[in-house]
Chain A
Amino acid sequence: GIQVEQSPPDLILQEGANSTLRCNFSDSVNNLQWFHQNPWGQLINLFYIPSGTKQNGRLSATTVATERYSLLYISSSQTTDSGVYFCAVPENTGFQKLVFGTGTRLLVSP
């Protein structure tokens, strides 16, 4: 099945810093989602981005499907950005289950 790897696994930032999270996937995909799992465990949709670039406030995402990667940019980070960031892609076979990446754990300190 498709493999989804994220880097870095852990990231510690000072409030106000910028960061880039990466998601690599091993096969062609029709779409990709980015999620934020906050410290309370809730999974929050950030982007649904099969290709191209999208922006939402301080966050933006770019997916280059032909090169099998996606990037999530966080600018001017805030303590509320802390948590785990997952990317997820559907498998191309079977019931096309959503395959989640390994996650990036982000801690933003004041």
Chain B
Amino acid sequence: NAGVTQTPKFRVLKTGQSMTLLCAQDMNHEYMYWYRQDPGMGLRLIHYSVGEGTTAKGEVPDGYNVSRLKKQNFLLGLESAAPSQTSVYFCASSLFGMGNEQFFGPGTRLTVL
């Protein structure tokens, strides 16, 4: 039982490049989330999903897209990376709603030059 996993762990991009972060969970959770963590800003919700095939915007969705084609996977895409997207990205999941216990992945450290 791996819990929540994220790939890659680290990535460096140049401004304008694109990339996809992959999150996978093996707990059969319905809800999945993408957060970013920045110094002094805490964790902020980017997008979330309430089930396979669904996505919704969180607090800071601009510049990101997501997809949930399979229940166990939640992908976060950056189409044209900007230096402001330099951050640590965390994926999380919960059995049902956001108020349920959320379990976090190990994080992806992204630097955009």
> Chain A interface (Cβ within 8 Å of chain B)?
30-31, 33, 35, 41-43, 45, 48, 88, 90, 95-98, 100, 102-103
> Chain B interface (Cβ within 8 Å of chain A)?
42-43, 45, 48, 56, 58-59, 88, 90, 97-104, 106-107, 109
CB-based contact A33/B42 at 8 Å? no
Q: Which residues of B contact A30 (CB under 8 A)?
A: 99
Given A30-B99, A97-B58: A43 in contact with B48 (beta carbons within 8 A): no
For the A-B complex with A45-B104, A95-B56 known, give 5 more contacts whose Cβ atoms are closer than 8 Å: A33-B102, A41-B107, A48-B101, A95-B48, A100-B42
Complex CA gap A33/B98 in Å reads 12
CB-based contact A96/B106 at 8 Å? no
Given A31-B99, A33-B102, A41-B107: A98 in contact with B88 (beta carbons within 8 A): no
- Chain A CB count within 10 A is highest, among B90, B102, B103, B107, for B102
CB-based contact B98/A45 at 8 Å? no
Residue ID in chain B nearest A90 by CB atoms: B99
Q: Which residues of B contact A102 (CB under 8 A)?
A: 42
Out of B48, B98, B103, name the residue touching A90 (CB < 8 Å): B98
Residue ID in chain B nearest A102 by CB atoms: B42
Q: Which residues of A contact B106 (CB under 8 A)?
A: 41-42
Q: Which residues of B contact A31 (CB under 8 A)?
A: 99-101
Top-4 shortest CB links A-B: A48-B101, A43-B104, A90-B99, A96-B98
Q: Which residues of B contact A43 (CB under 8 A)?
A: 90, 104, 107
Complex CA gap A30/B109 in Å reads 32
CB-based contact B101/A98 at 8 Å? no
CB-based contact B42/A42 at 8 Å? no
Closest beta carbon of chain A to B113's beta carbon, Å: 21
Given A42-B107, A95-B58, A97-B59: A33 in contact with B101 (beta carbons within 8 A): yes
Given A41-B88, A43-B90, A90-B98: A97 in contact with B45 (beta carbons within 8 A): yes
Q: Which residues of A contact B99 (CB under 8 A)?
A: 30-31, 90, 96
